[in-house]
Amino acid sequence: MARKGTKKNEKVAARDDEDDDSPDLEAVASSSDDDDDDEEDEEDSVYDSEDGLHYGNANESEESDDDFEDQGSSDEDEDLLEKQKNDDDSDDEIAVAYEKAPRAWKKERTAKRTVNGGEKAAEFIHTDDLSSDEDDPDGTGNRIGRVPLHWYDEFDHIGYDAHGKKIGKSASLGESGDLIDQALAQQDNIAKGKFVVHDALNDRNVELSARQLELIRRVRAGAFAHPEHDANPDYIDYFSGVDKEVSGLNADRYKPKSHFQPNQYEKMQVDKLLEKLERGDINMDYLTGKIRDMNDANKKSDPNLPFTIWAADDEDLLNMRKGPQHIAAPKLPPPGHAESYIPPDEYLPTEKELEEWKDMEPQDRPHGLLIPKKYPNLRSVGAYEHSVREAFERCLDLYLCPRVMKRRLNIDPESLVPKLPRASDLKPFPTAKCVEYVTPFDGETAPAIRSISASPDGQYMASGASDGYLRIWEVQTGRLLRSWDLSSLVAGFEVDKAEEEEPATRPVVCVEWNPNPEHHCLLATVGLFVVVVATGTASRTNADLTQALLAAALQGGNVSNAKAGKTVQWHPVKDDATRGEQPLSAAAKKGSAGPICVLLTSRDVASVRWQAKGDYFVSISPKAGAAAVLIHQLSKGISQQPFSKAKGETQLACFHPNKPFLFVASQQHVRVYHLVKQSMIKRLMSGCRWISSLDIHPSGDHLIVGSLDRRVVWFDLDLSATPFKTLKYHERAIRSCRYHHRYPLMASASDDGTVHVFHSMVYSDLMRNPLIVPVKILRGHSVTNKLGVLANVFHPTQPWLFTGGADGKLFLWQDI
C-alpha cells in the first residue's frame, strides 16, 4: 500500500506540474477528453488512507492556508447539479460551456499566483457562507417550496410571494427560446467572462462566481468540495471493554414525541396572529418589522441572546398565561458593622446602654434582638440564638404580606416641567439694595414700616410707621422731606366713649398717594380716621388743581345718604389742632403741605384705595358690618355706603383701572360688583384661608391675591372663577403683593423676611397664557416679633421696588 501510494503521489505531482505550465485545467473531467484520460485522472485523485492524501492534486492539499474556513456549497450549486441530473438533453451543452470557462479563469488564477509569489489553494473558496435567507433578503422570492415545477407549465405565473401575490414568469435564460438560443446566449456570456445558469425555482438567472466554479470543478473531478475535508478521521474507540459505562448513548436519549409538539400557549399565539391576518389588522410586513425590532433590541442589550421568533407582540397574549405573575420576594438588607464578630468599639454597648436596651420595645431597639459582641476569632463565635425565631418571622411576613405588581408610567420628570427662559433674558428687574431711608425715632428700636406709596412721577415716596408718623422722602437722595404726627392729630377730635380707651399712639396702617399726577395729595389711615394730606410737591399749575380738588374737603364735606351719615363724618383740620411743622390751615390755603381734613368712621380703617382718575376712593373697615365698604368722592366731599348687608368680613377692596367695577375681598372670596348696574358680576374662589393682599393688573384682566397661608393666587378674569395659577414660594404669611404699572413685574412680601420678584408677562393675544417666572429673591430685612416685610410697592416709572419691614428699615431696590 505504501508503494502504491508513493506512485500515486508522483503521478499527481507530475500532473500538477503540467497544469501550472499549461493554461488548461486538466484536472476537470470534460466530455471532450477521451475516456482513458478521465479514468486515469479520477484514479489519481483517489484518497490513500496510508499516505494521508486528499482528493484532488497534492499541491492543493499542501498549499492550503491555516486560516481557511470551512465553507459549504451554495444553493445555486445544488440547483445546477440537480438540473444536470434531471435534464439529460442540456447536460452536454452545459459541460462544454463549463469546460471553456474554467480554462480562461485558470490562466487568470495562474497569473495571480505568479505575481503574489505563492499559491493558495483555497483563494476563491475562502469566503463567507451563504444561507437561504441571504439569497432572498427583500422577501420577494418564491414561496412554493420544493414542489415539481412542471405543475406551473400551463400557467403564466410560478409560485407566490410573502403577501400571497402571484409571481409572473419572466423572459429569462431558462424559458426564452429553444436549446439553441440558450446555447448561443451562454456563449455570449462566456465571451464576456460570465457563466450564467438559470434558477428555475425562483425564476431568475444566477451568475456563478469564481468560488462556485472552483467547487464545481472539485466535485466533477471526484474530490471533496472543501480541500481540507478529512474523509477518514482517526478512529475513536467508544467501546472500551465489557465494563458498563455511563454515557449519553443509551435508549433514553430520545425525547418523547410530545416534546416536539407545540404547546397550548404557542397555539393560542398562532391563532391570534391568524385572526388578525384575516381581519386585515396586520400583514407580513408588520410581523417582520416587529420581530426585527425586538431582535435588534435584544442584541443591543446582550449580543449573546438568541432571537425569539415567537415573542409576544400583543399585551393580550401576555395576559393569557395561567396563574399569578411571579414577583420576587424583597431582599433582606446586608449585614452591617454591628453584626460582625469583631465590631468597632463604638458599636459595643456599655452597661448603662444594656439596661436601657432591655427596657426598650423590640421594634425600638437599634439592632433588633442582636447585641454586638467582640470575639477573639471566628471559631469562638457560637450559634445565633434567635436564628429560628427570625426565620419563622421572615416566613410569616412573606406569607401574610401580599405583593402586588404595580404598573408605573416610565415618564421622565424633566419632560413634564415646562422650559422657562433664563432670568438674565427677562431683565430689567430689581436685584440689589441701593438706597436705605433712615427713620428718626426715640427709643431702642425703630418703628415698623406698615405701608408705602410712591408719587406718580416717581420723585417722592410716602411711608406710614407704627409710631403714628407720616413721612415723605426724596427717592433719589433718601432725604426726609416732611413728616407729620397723625396719631396726635386725630387724638384731638371727639370720638365715642368706647374708642377713648384706645392707646394714645395709633399706627399709620395704610398710605395711598393719589394716582393722578395733577393731584398732589395722599390718604393715610390712623385708627378710626382717614386723613387727607396735601403733599406740597405740586407746581403752580398743579397746585391750583389740587386746591380746587380739596376745596370741598376744607369746608367739611357732606354725606349723600342716610346710611353713610350714621357712620362717616368729615372734619376739617383747624389751626389749633395742628401737630405739624407749621399752621396747616394757612399752609393749605397757600398750596403748601399738611393735613386738610379727616374722615371719622365707626370702626378702625384697615385700607384705602384710589380710583384711577384720582377723585374717588374706597375705605375698608372690617369690623363695621354692612358699613365696612365706603366710597368717597373728594372733589364733592361726599360719602356713600354701597351695600346694605354684609357678606362675610370684608378685608380689602380696589377699583378696576378702566371699568366701573369694584373688587371686594372677604376672608376667602373676591366679589366683583358693577357700580353702575349695582349688581354682582362674579365671585372668585381663591381657596385661601385668609386673604391679606389684593391688587389688579394694569390691563384689568388679571388679579393677584396674597394670603396668610403662604399662597399667591393669580386669577384670569376672562378665563374662570377659579385660580389660574397658585404660587407657593414663601415659608410664612404673605403681607403684600403688587403689580408694576409699566413693566411685566410682580412682587410678594412675606413674614419670612424675603421679597420674591416675578416676571409676569401678560400678552395681548387672548389665546396665549401669561408667563410667570420667578427671577429674584430679595433678602435684606430681618424678622422682628415673627413679622418680616410688611409693605412693598413698585416705582411708577422704573423697574425699582420699595420695601418696608417690621425691623423699621426702608429700602429701595434697583436693577443693577
Q: What's the whole-number mean pLDDT along residues 528-537?
A: 91
Asked whether the predicted pLDDT for residue 645 surpasses 80, the reply is yes
Write down the pLDDT at residue 295: 58
| Cα angle 586, 587, 589; round to 5 | 65
Domain pair 425-454+659-816 / 484-522+530-651, same fold: yes
Report the candidate in 113, 92, 109 with the shortest Cα–Cα distance to residue 24.
109
Count of Cβ atoms closer than 10 Å to residue 707 Cβ? 22
Tell the residue number behind the cell numbers 446602654, with chain if given.
353
- Rounded distance between C-alpha atoms, residue 239 and residue 236, angstroms: 9
pTM of the model: 0.52
Q: Where are the domains of the chain?
A: 2-220, 266-318, 340-374, 425-454+659-816, 484-522+530-651
pLDDT on residue 558:
56
Average confidence (pLDDT) over 656-660? 93
Compute the distance between CA of residue 115 and CA of residue 109 in angstroms, rounded to an integer.
10
Render the burial of 578-615: b for 16+ CB within 10 Å, e for the rest.
Answer: bbbeeebbebbeebbbbbbbbbbbbbbbbbbbbbeebb
Q: Residue 452 phi/psi, 5° resolution?
A: -140, 145
Q: Look at phi and psi of residue 710 and say left if phi exceeds 0, alpha if psi is from -120 to 50, else beta.
A: left
> Residue 599 half-sphere exposure, CB side, CA atoms within 13 Å?
36
pLDDT, residue 398, reads: 83
Rounded to an integer, what is the distance from CA 41 to the centroid of its chain? Answer: 76
Residue range 258-304, pLDDT digits in tens: 666 667 778 888 888 888 888 877 766 655 666 666 656 655 555 55
3-state secondary structure (DSSP) of residue 497: helix
Name the band, by pLDDT with cuts 50, 70 and 90, for residue 666: very high
Residues in CB range of 693: below 8 A, 6 or more apart: 652, 704, 705, 706, 707, 734, 735, 736, 737, 738, 748
Is residue 75 within 8 Å of residue 135, measured between CB atoms? yes
Q: What b/e readout covers 521-538, taking b as 16+ CB neighbours within 10 angstroms?
A: bbbbbbbbbbbbbbbbbb
For residue 517, say if its preceding peptide bond is cis, omega within 30 degrees of 0: no
pLDDT for position 193: 80
Residue 450: how many CB atoms within 10 A of its CB? 21
Contact 487, 504 (CB under 8 A): yes
Percent of the chain residues topping a pLDDT of 70: 68
C-beta separation of 593 from 587 below 8 A: yes
347/83: higher pLDDT: 347
CB atoms under 10 Å from CB of 466, counted, come to 19
**pLDDT over threshold 90, residue 95:** no
Q: What cell was used for 241?
A: 471493554
pLDDT per residue as tens digits for the range 344-388: 998 999 999 999 988 888 888 888 888 899 999 989 998 888 889
Average pLDDT over residues 494-522: 76
Which amino acid does the sequence have at 283? N
Give, in words, the CATH class of 425-454+659-816.
mainly beta
- In 171-314, the DSSP E strands lie at 196-199, 204-207
Q: What is the pLDDT of residues 451-507, one digit of tens each?
A: 999 999 999 999 999 999 999 999 999 999 999 999 888 887 755 434 445 556 889
- Residue 80: pLDDT over 50: no
Q: Residues 812, 802: contact at Cβ < 8 Å?
A: yes
pLDDT tens profile 780-812: 999 999 999 999 999 999 999 999 999 999 999
Task: Please tell me which residue, 269 or 531, carries the higher pLDDT value.
Answer: 531
Could you give the CA distance from residue 374 to residue 322 in angstroms, rounded to a whole number?
52
Sign of CA dihedral 601, 603, 605, 610: negative
Model pLDDT for residues 693-712, shown as the tens digit of each residue: 999 999 999 999 999 999 99
**Pairwise CA distance, residues 634 & 60, whole Å:** 121
676 vs 362, residue with greater confidence:
676
The Cα–Cα gap between 271 and 283 comes to 14
Q: What is the mean pLDDT of residues 61-79?
A: 41
Please tell me the distance from the alpha carbon of residue 599 to that of residue 614, in angstroms, as a whole number. 17
Note the Cα 772 to chain centre separation in Å: 21
Higher pLDDT, 27 or 762: 762
List, in sequence order, every residue forming a beta bridge with 691; answer none if it has no partner: 707
Cα 114 to Cα 106, 111, 118, 119, 209: the distances in Å are 12, 5, 7, 8, 22
Q: How much is the mean pLDDT over the chain?
A: 76
Per-residue confidence (pLDDT) for residue 811, from 0 to 100: 95
pLDDT of res. 773: 93
462: left (phi over 0), alpha (psi -120 to 50) or beta: beta
Residue 769: is its pLDDT beyond 70?
yes
In the chain, the percentage of residues whose pLDDT exceeds 90 is 34
User: Between vectors from CA 806 to CA 804 and to CA 807, what angle results, nearest 5°?
Assistant: 90
The predicted pLDDT at position 324 comes to: 67
Question: Domain 484-522+530-651 - what CATH class?
Answer: mainly beta
pLDDT of residue 322: 62
Report the distance separating Cα 737 and Cα 752, nearest Å: 14
pLDDT value of residue 60? 39
Q: Which residue has the higher pLDDT, 61 or 476?
A: 476
Q: Which of 191-205, 350-364, 598-612, 749-763 has the lowest mean pLDDT?
A: 191-205
- Strands across the sheet with 460-465, in order? 449-454, 460-465, 469-474, 480-485
**Segment 186-234, tens digit of pLDDT:** 888 888 888 888 877 777 788 888 888 888 888 889 888 888 888 888 8
pLDDT at 743: 94
Note the pLDDT of residue 33.
Answer: 41
Give the pLDDT score at 111. 47
Residue 278: alpha-carbon gap to chain centroid: 40
The CA distance from 513 to 533, in Å, is: 9
pLDDT of residue 40: 41
User: Side chain identity at 116, as an amino acid letter?
Assistant: N
* 138 — pLDDT class (breaks 50, 70, 90): low
pLDDT higher for 716 or 8? 716
**Among candidate residues 670, 664, 661, 614, the one with its CA nearest the CA of residue 643:** 664
pLDDT digits (tens, 9 = 90+) for 169-191: 765 444 455 678 878 888 888 88
Q: Counting every residue, how long is the chain? A: 816
